[in-house]
Amino acid sequence: MQEPTIRLANRKDSSFVAEVFMLAFPDSVDHFVKDESLYPLIKEFLSDLFALYYKSEKEAFFVCEIEGKIVGYALMPSGLNSLISKALFSSLVVKWFGILWRRRKIILHINIKDLFRDKLTFWRSTLSSRHTRSKARVLSIAMHPDYQGYGIGSLLLDHGLKYLRTKSQRVQLEVRPENTPAIRLYEKFGFKVKGTMKDSRGDWLVLEKIL
């Protein structure tokens, strides 16, 4: 097998990244989506969302490839202001409100209440930080389950931190307390627990690193 390689993502990668996300975080998908027949629609939504992230800060979006296949990704923006403004004024909002309106019955199979409450919790936690303007994020990082144990997480995180050192003074992330392998990885790179937050699925640990 070839060695994993890291490169900047491009617009066409969004669908493959969405697939990796769904495979890496099946519990999250199942928590919000009650009907597996909706998975293709959820993948389309995630693909659009990752494309929005890409437009927000292209240099902060990395993918890992093995033999030409995307097996992991990292989204590590230097700040969230650009992402928030693009999200608010994006055609993505109009598109998905239109889809939900035309296919109103699918709302019965999506945990809308918890989804919006969790996103509100995240944004409130982010914007309440006194370091918001200078704080970068490990917003999302994941590996395909079939390729865990190949050091992909370390490669992605190291690559992203090198980029962020030129942009920011500190970086923050959230991780589930039970995700021991991820916590060990972050601690290896110098992240320290700074607090906790809670959403509909339970607790998060908030970790921070000075760059």
Higher local confidence (pLDDT), 167 or 131: 167
Say what the pTM is: 0.84
What's the residue count for the chain?
211
How high is the pLDDT of residue 129? 54
Domain residue spans in the chain? 5-210
Mind listing the pLDDT tens digit for each residue in 143-183? Answer: 999 998 889 999 999 999 999 999 988 999 999 999 999 99
Edge-to-edge strand list for the sheet holding 202-210: 135-137, 170-175, 202-210, 192-199
How far apart are the C-alpha atoms of 131 and 127, rounded to whole Å? 9
Residue 184: pLDDT band (50, 70, 90) is very high
Residue 47 CB neighbour total at 10 angstroms: 18
Residue 79: pLDDT band (50, 70, 90) is confident
Element (H, E) at 137: strand 135-137
Provide CATH code, domain 5-210.
3.40.630.30
Mind listing the pLDDT tens digit for each residue in 199-208? Answer: 878 889 999 9
Helix axes 81-88, 91-102, angle to 10 degrees: 50
How far apart are the C-alpha atoms of 20 and 145, rounded to whole Å? 8
